[in-house]
């Protein structure tokens, strides 16, 4: 859900800086519903975000990402939901207008992070900022699981910066409010960086209230292995997880994870800094009995990204076509996203 490339000034060039980025995005997305035999329209991932990042010294930095307004994410019922992120402040079982709000304390190769951050889960799908993602292609875990939670994290980076190890404890996305019901999430993550081969591997234990519903587990385990290979102009990405989807009951009062297998693949061709052409596909399948029964899902499509500004990716024009087997929608979309950076100091 977030990229580890900062928008603001590189901290290596200045230990004292601050940058505010305004990020508007507009999508125009007509879609054909095979189930209804009719056309519909949504604004896709249209939204307005801000990102405030800075550093007061080589030992202290901060990140604040706010989600001001959004056209909403896909609802696996009948329609596209339109999001108003201000009504859920103070809850941990949903998202609100504060996505990230944390500080980093840096000591040589060690970093301590405190505040609201993303749970250390997911593969490369979660490595992009929310405003860069096309939700029609995203897994139901990305679309549904509230991964921004309050807590702390300790990260160790090897001296050559090729490997990163992190452990984390946060509130649980299955608790109604932070620190209630004594529900917490613990996670560990490993990252390998490289010019040819990269890895993101994670393991999370998410606390769950076994009384809601009766007979539910005390926790859910969530494992991801993400691998990426770079071959000149081509990039191959594959994420594998042990849960095939995030789901809720009909009135959305109870949420849960389904045990299964999830595969998320992408093949990208980038012949220059200005254009990227990507095929993406996912497949998820339940592996155990569940009531209500799980659904096998597949999703595929093509994406084109174009960056018209010289030596900058601030402006992105995008277009894509997507089909989803659960929604039975064939979607077409065109849009743009702009990162407007203001260097404060």
Least trusted range by pLDDT, from 32-36, 54-58, 109-113, 178-182: 178-182
Does residue 49 have a pLDDT over 50? yes
**pLDDT for position 271:** 97
Distances (CA, A) of 249 to 76, 92, 257, 293, 296: 11, 18, 11, 11, 17
In which residue are the tokens 């991964």 written? 147
pLDDT digits (tens, 9 = 90+) for 148-174: 999 999 999 999 999 999 999 999 998
Strands 329-338 and 17-33: antiparallel
pTM score: 0.89
Residue 277: predicted pLDDT:
98
Residues 84-101, mean pLDDT to the nearest whole number: 82
- The C-alpha R_g of the chain, in whole angstroms, comes to 20
> 215 or 145: which carries more pLDDT confidence?
145
Window from 106-115, 151-160, 289-298, 310-319 with minimum mean pLDDT? 289-298
Task: Label residue 10 by pLDDT band (50, 70, 90).
Answer: very low
Distance CA 57, CA 72 (A): 37
Task: Using alpha carbons, list the distances in angstroms from residue 80 to 187, 196, 245, 306.
Answer: 32, 39, 18, 26
The pLDDT of residue 2: 57
Q: Which residue has the higher pLDDT, 180 or 4?
A: 180
Q: Is the pLDDT of residue 139 over 80?
A: yes
Which residue, among 29, 47, 48, has the nearest Cα to 39 in the 3D structure? Answer: 29
Contact status, residue 72 vs residue 45, Cβ threshold 8 Å: no
List of residues 6+ apart from 43 with CB closer than 8 A? 26, 27, 28, 29, 71
């Amino acid at each position: 859900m977030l990229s580890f490339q900062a928008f603001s000034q590189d901290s290596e060039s200045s230990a004292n800086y601050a940058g505010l980025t305004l990020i508007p995005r507009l999508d125009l997305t007509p879609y054909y519903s095979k189930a209804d035999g009719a056309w519909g329209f949504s604004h896709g991932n249209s939204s307005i975000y801000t990102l405030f990042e800075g550093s007061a010294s080589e030992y202290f930095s901060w990140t604040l990402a706010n989600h001001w307004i959004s056209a909403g994410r896909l609802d696996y019922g009948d329609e596209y939901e339109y999001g108003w992120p201000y009504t859920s402040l103070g809850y941990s079982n949903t998202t609100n207008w504060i996505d990230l709000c944390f500080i980093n304390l840096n000591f040589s190769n060690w970093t301590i992070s405190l505040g609201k951050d993303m749970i250390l889960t997911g593969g490369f799908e979660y490595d992009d900022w929310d405003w860069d993602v096309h939700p029609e292609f995203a897994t139901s875990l990305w679309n549904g699981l509230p991964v921004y939670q309050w807590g702390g994290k300790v990260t160790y980076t090897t001296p050559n910066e090729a490997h990163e190890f992190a452990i984390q404890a946060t509130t649980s996305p299955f608790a109604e409010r932070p620190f209630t019901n004594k529900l917490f999430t613990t996670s560990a993550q490993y990252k390998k960086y490289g010019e040819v081969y990269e890895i993101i591997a994670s393991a999370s234990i998410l606390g769950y209230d076994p009384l809601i519903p009766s007979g539910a587990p005390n926790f859910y385990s969530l494992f991801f292995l993400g691998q990426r290979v770079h071959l000149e102009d081509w990039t191959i990405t594959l994420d594998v997880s042990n849960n095939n989807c995030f789901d809720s009951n009909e009135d959305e009062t109870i949420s849960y994870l389904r045990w299964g297998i999830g595969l998320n693949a992408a093949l990208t061709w980038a012949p220059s800094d200005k254009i990227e052409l990507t095929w993406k596909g996912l497949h998820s399948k339940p592996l155990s009995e569940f009531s209500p029964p799980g659904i096998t899902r597949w999703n595929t499509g093509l994406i084109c990204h174009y960056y018209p500004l010289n030596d900058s990716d601030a402006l992105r024009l995008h277009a894509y076509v997507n089909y989803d087997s659960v929604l039975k929608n064939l979607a077409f979309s065109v849009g743009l996203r702009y990162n407007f950076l203001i260097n404060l100091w």
